[in-house]
Amino acid sequence: MWENRCKIVVSGVGYSKVSRMADIPLAAHALEAVKGAVADSGLEMSDIDGLATYPELPATGHAEIDGISVVSVNCMMAMLKLPNLTWHIQVGTTNIGGAVQQATNALLAGVCKYAVVWRAMHNPRGTYQNLPGAQAAGATQFTAPYGFGGPGQGMAVAYTRWLEKNNQTRDKMATLAVTQRKHTQHNPHAYFHGTPLTREDYFASRMVAHPFCLFDCDIPVQGAVAIVLTTADRGRDLKPKPAYLAGYGQRLHFETAGRIGSLSSYMEGGSSSAKLTWERSGFTPKDVDVAQIYDGFSASVIYGLESYGFCKEGEALDFIQDGRIELDGDLPLNTFGGSLGTGRIHGLWHIIEGALQASGRAGSRQVKDANVSFVGASAPIVTGTTFIFVSEPY
Amino acid sequence: MAEPGRALPVPTPETKHFWEGTAAGELRLQRCDSCGKNYFPPKPFCATCGSRKVSVFKASGKAVLWSYVIHHRPVPGFKPPYAIAVVQLAEGPRMMSNIVECEQTPEALQLDMDLEVVFEKQNDTITLPVFRPAKG
Ligand SMILES: [Zn+2]
């Protein structure tokens, strides 16, 4: 087991308003989320001495303008003017889970005491995936001429293969979309809070990229979330009950041609990351009380459940049936609604929910007696980062 | 003004041999002379072993349909719904492409079906390799 298990905690969490369009600059969303997380911890902004983020613009073909379409560490530093800042980073791989892991390492190394991690997501006006136009340069020369332009299509290609290979149909995915939307009704910060979804809605919805219909895709939004991480001894003295980080793992993996992941590449990425997390924490999938698995596109949950070891390869769509992923089921899943419910904020919200469930702070969606709380914070086909939070050190 | 067409590749020194090949009616892949791996997309080194001893060879043009997505959103040069396919070439590598002379439906697009390359000339310099159901 990991010698540093339960030495780092998630303390406060914060959210901005999640809106469909970019009505205010993204920097304002990020600032609102960061201030919220610091206040939730009961800290002063001057206590914060570490900053980390992953400032990727998820849509393609748009300009990266700091404070408008991304919020870099520089941008946050300029806004906060932290008097005691001692450490900061923005990661380029492993998505936001990697930023949380780097903050963990910095705290363990003693180079900062209270680190804030945020993820701010922009929804550009006009076309979300701005295709390269007449010229397909660089790697896109082997994809764009065939009408390919976004990660959803890449996920869908692997999903088509998965369905066919395992003799399954997309009908069973309705259970995931409908159950997660039910969970969303317990999360007032989510974009789809107040908007239920029925099985009939799922089956009547238009196709976006077959086999994905509209409700297999998270809706692009503008918004931000943030967390405060600190050491366990400091976290115990703060306002909220902390969630202890029992272990984490990471693995970057995808095939190069058009970011099209094969089934073997998602299994390899997810299982490698999860294996580290199981070994470091000492837990197994059977010990998990509640799970958050990245769901930017619904099929990502299949890849997660199978590669992390919650069920066998080819069985995930059967695994999620019969109430298993409900709040009182055997494996409550994406209890905050997932990205399908909150809107496209990537994996930091999954990490927030994993921490809230472990610390008993999830309100009306709290899973009873939740102790071992698992998070797969990004698609294992792209960047597998995984985490386990627990209620108390062990 | 004419409708904007599909995005066309901009060859680079590393990919020039591939696009010269398609213009000449050949599907050209690369092979690592050190570890023997056939690979695509073009690179001046082997991504598997790092060797710079690589050569270009003419592929058979035979493939099977590995998977696909049927896209329903508007994209310049395409009439939705259209399929974006990933084909598995007989020589090993996978390649993105379109499937022609075939209905763009799940019923018609059978996974692992045999395919063969056809070359679609776009202009004087660019010819795209696409695939159709094999004619035996
Ligand atoms: Zn080699």
Complex prediction ipTM: 0.96
What CATH number does the domain containing A301 carry? 3.40.47.10
Q: Is the pLDDT of residue A354 over 80?
A: yes
Q: Is A111 within a domain?
A: yes
Tell me the mean pLDDT in the region A242-259. Answer: 78
Q: Is residue A143 part of a domain?
A: no
- Write out the H or E segment, with its range, that includes residue B38: strand B38-39
Asked whether residue A275 carries a pLDDT value surpassing 60, the answer given is yes
Q: Residue A137's closest chain B neighbor by CA? A: B10
pLDDT at A254: 56
Please say if the pLDDT value at position B72 is more than 60.
yes
Task: Decide if B127 contacts B119 (C-beta within 8 A).
Answer: yes
Domain count, chain A: 1
Residue A297 lies in a domain: yes
- Residue A264 at interface with chain B, using a CB cutoff of 8 Å: no
Q: With 70 as the cut, is the pLDDT of residue A255 above it? A: no
Domain-embedded: residue A240: yes
Give yes or no for a contact between B39 and B30, defined as CB atoms under 8 angstroms apart. Answer: yes
Tokens at residue B131, please? 């695939």
Q: Are A229 and A107 in contact (CB under 8 A)?
A: yes
What distance lies between CA A100 and its chain's CA centroid?
Answer: 11
Percent of chain A with pLDDT over 90: 82
**A337 located within any domain:** yes
**pLDDT, tens digit, for every residue of B45-66?**
998 899 999 999 999 999 999 9
Q: Has residue A196 been placed in a domain?
A: no
pLDDT at A258 over 70: no
The residue of A131, A141, A146, A157 whose CB has the most chain B CBs within 10 angstroms, and thus the best one to mutate to test that interface, is A146
Measured between CA atoms, the residue of chain B closest to residue A206 is B72
Nearest to B96 among A148, A208, A212 (CB): A148
- For residue A344, is it within any domain? yes
Q: Is residue A117 part of a domain?
A: yes
Helix, strand, coil shares, percent, chain B, to 5: 5, 40, 55
Q: What percent of chain B has pLDDT over 70?
A: 97
Write out the E strands in chain A. 8-15, 50-53, 87-90, 114-121, 135-136, 207-210, 212-213, 223-231, 243-252, 290-293, 373-376, 383-390
Nearest chain A residue (CA) to B5: A134
pLDDT of amino acid A129 = 74
The answer to whether B7 contacts A255, with C-beta atoms less than 8 Å apart, is no
Residues contacting residue A81 through CB under 8 Å, at least 6 positions apart: none
Tell if the CB–CB gap between B68 and A157 is shorter than 8 Å: yes
Residues 6+ apart with CB under 8 A from B24: none
Q: Is residue A132 reached through a cis peptide bond, with omega within 30 degrees of 0 on the bond before it?
A: no
Mean pLDDT of chain A: 94
pLDDT at A323: 98
Query: Where in the sequence is the domain holding A382, given as residue range(s)?
Result: 8-125+219-390
Q: Which residues, at least 6 apart from B91, have a Cβ–Cβ distance to it below 8 Å?
A: B29, B38, B59, B60
Does the pLDDT value for residue B31 go beyond 80? yes
What string of DSSP letters covers A160-190? HHHHHHTT--GGGGHHHHHHHHHHHTT-TTS
d(CA A161, CA A164) in angstroms, rounded, equals 5
Helix A95-109 × helix A348-358 angle, to 10°? 60
